[in-house]
Structure 1
Amino acid sequence: MKKAMWVGVAIAIAVAGTWGYGALARREDDTGRAVRLLAIAEEQSLALSFSRSGRLVSPVPDEGEPVRAGQVIARIEEPGLAEDASDFERQMAQTRARESSRREDVSRLQAELAQIASEEKRMARLVREGIAPAADLESVQHRRDGTAAAIRAREAEKGQIRAEEDALQARLGKVKHFEKEGALVAHTGGVVLTRHHRMGEWVAAGDPIVTLQLEAPRLRVEVPEERLSAFSLGKSVEIWPQARPDARARARIVSIRPRSEFATRRNWGLQSRDLRTFSVRLAPEGLPVVSGQTFVVETGAH
């Protein structure tokens, strides 16, 4: 009797262990069921800097001042660049004028050559009829050869003029690019969070001039690997402030990446694999967000 009782206890323990192990494995598997996690609003900042060194020659926006996309934040000195650009543009205008004059000369010479060819035919007929001496025909032929040579010479200048214009265009492009590097433009709107330099100061290439706080903070939620299938790039999820469950809105998933290069947990299921945690960032839509605010993120089953 006791032996049967102990056998029953052993069987019960084995069944309970098997059930518990299965529950653990199922919990560590990605079943695609609905997920509800906490997210925090992160401050989105952007440091703006020049790609070359120079002295600031324009005022820099103060901290707290709004900045719109495309606005010039600051400029650095550009000694001689404007004069160089004007000089290259003047030389290019002269080159284009030479090309225009060359084309006019070629057109004039071609018309003149056509007249000479007509006169040559007439003179050849007169020579055959004995009305005009052969010397007159030779004179017309010399004029024809000279005009044809002049046309070839003017046509040969075309390549040289084009090469000069291309060289000037390349130099002007470099100057314009250098001028563009001297203007710091905000490619996105925001508010000046920190002003690092003032007008008149020397700044090195890469040194931040201002740091902008972007218009809308992003939400960051840490997602276990076994729940990752509920999150995909571009997908819209439901969010609400943790303190205000009634203020619900939507947020779009804009990035998904591992939080670290190593596994954070281990699945002890049948495959016994490592599990990682992923940082998912969301862009709220139509809901004011304050940096540091906590939100609830909910996404349905896939």
Structure 2
Amino acid sequence: MRKSLPVLAVLGIAAALAAWYWHSQQGVGLPAGLVSSNGRTEAERIDIAAKFSGRLDAVLVREGEMVEAGQIVAVLDAAEVEARLREAEAVVRQTEESLNEANALLAQRESERVFAERELQRAEQLAERGHTAVETVDLRRADHATAVAAVASAKAGIGRARASIEAAKATVQRIAADREEHFLKAPRAGRVQYRLAETGEIVAAGGRVISLLDLTDVYMTVYLPTDAAGRLRYGAEARIVFDAAPQFVVPASVTFVASEAQFTPRYVETASEREKLMFRVKVTIPPEILERHREIVKTGVPGVAYIRIDPETAWPEAFAVRLPDGS
């Protein structure tokens, strides 16, 4: 056992030296139009949060599980909102009955108007022949005017009833939308990174429940010096080679270049790079490639990004695209 300790120490030193040598050689021998930088893969993170406070009835997904867009991932207790929805639906039925009553009242008032109009016509004819008093004609005119006003009032009542129905139905739609928000859904396909709350817990409004990684938006953040970043164009071609699978070459493109230089972060492996002002660059893998290989796509995987800053420079044969499916 004691003899094996020096052997393990030697092997550990050898592995460390090999890793240092590999990193130190990145970019050595590249054509003038290519640059390289190391980094780690990242994915766009989506936090699925509760719109309303309440108790979690169920969390339906596990960490690491793939979910599809629109899939229900968690359910909030909706007993209260369902009660409000039934109450609002009852109000709709009440307002519809009010409309029926308003229609019936209009029919009655219209009948009274027709009768008053005929009575007025008869009174006017009798007055022309001298068989009735002028006061009787005036009374019939007043009755007719009252009947016409009653019809107008009944029509206004129908308008109010219809407006009440629309308002009640809008309330039903709003509460139904609130109830739908109690079913938390994935806004897009991805892999569950974290379950941030568990069944039975009470979450606040806006409280995060599930953290999801969008595996169709995976990129590597690298840092380039000023001379390279100044020549870089959006959409520039790139290649990514991962430490864990150097036999594959993954195509990518530049989708972001920082507008200001900065000191590179502590996790950049090469000390000399950390001492320089660099520009942050995002190199993104095409979504169609990620979709084909989403079962093996991971974040946090280290590798090296090779970026073509001169579009006239040809890619060396070593950087021909090679993917796990042979394409």
In which range does the TM-score fall when normalised by the shorter chain? Answer: 0.5 to 0.7
Deviation of 1:103 after TM superposition, in Å, equals 4.4
Q: Counterpart in 1 of 2:126?
A: 126
Q: Counterpart in 2 of 1:196?
A: 196
Deviation of 1:88 after TM superposition, in Å, equals 1.1
Question: Structure 1's 103 and 279: CA in aligned 2 closer, same or farther, altered over 3 A?
Answer: farther
Question: Structure 1's 39 and 158: CA in aligned 2 closer, same or farther, altered over 3 A?
Answer: farther
TM-score normalized with structure 2 length: 0.62
Deviation of 1:95 after TM superposition, in Å, equals 1.4
Q: Counterpart in 2 of 1:257?
A: 258
Contact 1:49–1:210, Cα closer than 8 Å, also in 2: yes
Q: Counterpart in 1 of 2:83?
A: 83
1:259-298 equivalences in 2 (<5 Å): 277-287=279-289, 288=293, 289-291=297-299, 292-294=301-303, 295-298=305-308
Question: Structure 1's 39 and 180: CA in aligned 2 closer, same or farther, altered over 3 A?
Answer: farther
Contact 1:219–1:284, Cα closer than 8 Å, also in 2: no
Matched residues in 2 for 1:99 and 1:173: separation?
Answer: 20
> What does the per-residue CA deviation read over 1:146-202, in whole Å, with 9 as the maximum and x for residues that have no partner?
312322433454575467556645654653454244222211111222223332233
Contact 2:222–2:283, Cα closer than 8 Å, also in 1: yes
What is the aligned length?
Answer: 257
Counterpart of 1:55 in 2: which secondary structure?
strand
Matched residues in 2 for 1:41 and 1:202: separation?
Answer: 36
Q: Match of 1:218, as an amino acid? A: Y
RMSD over aligned Cα atoms: 3.7
Matched residues in 2 for 1:61 and 1:248: separation?
Answer: 30
Q: Counterpart in 2 of 1:37?
A: 36
Deviation of 1:263 after TM superposition, in Å, equals 7.0
Contact 1:225–1:278, Cα closer than 8 Å, also in 2: no
Matched residues in 1 for 2:170 and 2:135: separation?
Answer: 53
Matched residues in 2 for 1:42 and 1:82: separation?
Answer: 44
1:63-74 equivalences in 2 (<5 Å): 63-74=63-74
Contact 1:60–1:198, Cα closer than 8 Å, also in 2: no
Larger Rg: 1
Q: Counterpart in 2 of 1:94?
A: 94
Q: Counterpart in 1 of 2:53?
A: 53
Q: Counterpart in 2 of 1:230?
A: 232
Q: Counterpart in 2 of 1:24?
A: none
Counterpart of 2:210 in 1: which secondary structure?
strand
Gaps of 5+ in 2: 1-31, 265-275, 313-327
Question: Structure 1's 141 and 73: CA in aligned 2 closer, same or farther, altered over 3 A?
Answer: same
1:201-216 equivalences in 2 (<5 Å): 201-216=201-216
Q: Counterpart in 2 of 1:218?
A: 219
Q: Which has the higher contact order (CA 8 A, sep 6+)?
A: 1
> What does the per-residue CA deviation read over 1:201-251, in whole Å, with 9 as the maximum and x for residues that have no partner?
33344443222232232222324444245232xx36242436668745343
Matched residues in 1 for 2:281 and 2:114: separation?
Answer: 80
1:135-174 equivalences in 2 (<5 Å): 137-157=137-157, 161=161, 164-165=164-165, 168=168, 171-172=171-172
Counterpart of 2:199 in 1: which secondary structure?
coil
Contact 1:34–1:230, Cα closer than 8 Å, also in 2: no
Identity fraction in percent: 19
Mean CA deviation greater in 148-157 or 54-63: 148-157
Matched residues in 2 for 1:57 and 1:77: separation?
Answer: 5
Q: Match of 1:47, as an amino acid? A: D
Contact 1:46–1:213, Cα closer than 8 Å, also in 2: yes
Matched residues in 2 for 1:191 and 1:301: separation?
Answer: 35
